[in-house]
């Protein structure tokens, strides 16, 4: 991986992390097209640059993180399922990261779901005010986040839909998804970096590329979050559903013709 690879992957991360289109899936695809060989540093990098995206949430919603202790309690409760299943299934999750076929199928399946989400939860939009979750509802959303451990599902899509099932409107569901990303991605980043440090060790060049990736991801995510909330509130999920289906089908075609390969996937 070189500097330009890092910048491109960080741009992809910043754009896609908070959209319901799977950031992991897009980075797998991007790495395949760029011809980035699969290795432990690349896998760690694609997780660790999520820290930059986390910072964008803290900057844009800093006032939310100065609320009551109950706000943090909800985040911890919602985070627990991903923490438990992430530790238990880490090896299986890493194995799936090498499977571009899984990414393509999940993109298509998730896209089909998004085509019907607005209609199914239309009544939720009648509530325009800020909504408060109970501990039980936060936990249920947390279990939806576990589904996103399958590459191509999208953490954002899973948790937003989870919020909709708990009677949140699109805006509030999306914002809770952003907030939940903070402990989730912070834990994933810390775990992957510690694991890489213990197994391989960071070189000065590794740290420079990682720092650059986080800076780029932070800047791009700031723009993406603001744009996404406005778009989602006005137009809903249908566009993202069609996008996922088209991208997923395109990947399947390229895989079947050998134009992208599993060997290049991260």
* Model pLDDT for residues 124-144, shown as the tens digit of each residue: 988 777 778 999 999 999 999
The tens digit of pLDDT for each residue in 42-91 reads 888 988 998 999 899 999 999 988 878 899 999 999 999 999 998 888 77
Domain span at 228? 3-264
CA dihedral 64, 230, 242, 114 (to 10 degrees): 40
**HEC string for 58-113:** HHHCCCHHHCCHHHHHHHHHHHHHHHHHHHHCHHHHHHHCCCHHHHHHHHHHHHHH
Q: How many domains does the chain have?
A: 1
Classify residue 165 by burial, with Cβ atoms within 10 Å: 0-12, 13-18, 19+. middle
State the pTM of this model: 0.88
CA distance 44 to 197: 10
Residue 264 is encoded by which pair of tokens? 């290049």
Q: Which residues of 214-232 are buried (b: 16+ CB within 10 A; e: fewer)?
A: bebbbbbbbebbeebbeeb
């Amino acid at each position: 991986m070189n500097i330009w690879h890092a910048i491109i992957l960080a741009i992809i991360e910043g754009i896609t992390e908070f959209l319901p289109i799977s950031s992991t899936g897009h980075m797998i695809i991007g790495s395949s097209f760029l011809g980035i060989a699969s290795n432990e540093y690349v896998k760690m990098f694609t997780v660790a640059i999520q820290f930059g995206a986390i910072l964008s949430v803290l900057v844009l919603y800093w006032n939310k993180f100065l609320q009551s202790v109950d706000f943090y309690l909800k985040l911890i409760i919602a985070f627990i399922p991903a923490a438990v299943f992430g530790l238990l299934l880490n090896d299986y999750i890493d194995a799936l990261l090498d499977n571009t076929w899984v990414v393509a199928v999940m993109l298509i399946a998730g896209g089909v779901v998004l085509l019907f989400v607005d209609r199914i939860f239309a009544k939720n939009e009648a509530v325009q005010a800020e909504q408060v979750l109970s501990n039980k509802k936060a936990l249920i959303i947390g279990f939806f986040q576990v589904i996103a451990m399958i590459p191509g599902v999208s953490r954002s899509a899973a948790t937003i839909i989870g919020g909709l099932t708990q009677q949140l409107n699109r805006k509030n569901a999306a914002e809770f998804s952003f907030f939940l990303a903070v402990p989730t991605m912070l834990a994933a980043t810390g775990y992957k970096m510690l694991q890489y440090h213990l197994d391989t060790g960071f070189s000065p060049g590794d740290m420079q590329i990682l720092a650059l990736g986080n800076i780029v991801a932070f800047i791009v995510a700031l723009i993406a979050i603001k744009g996404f909330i406005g778009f989602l509130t006005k137009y809903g999920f249908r566009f993202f559903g069609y996008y996922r289906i088209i991208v997923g089908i395109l990947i399947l075609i390229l895989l079947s013709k050998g134009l992208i390969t599993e060997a290049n996937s991260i």
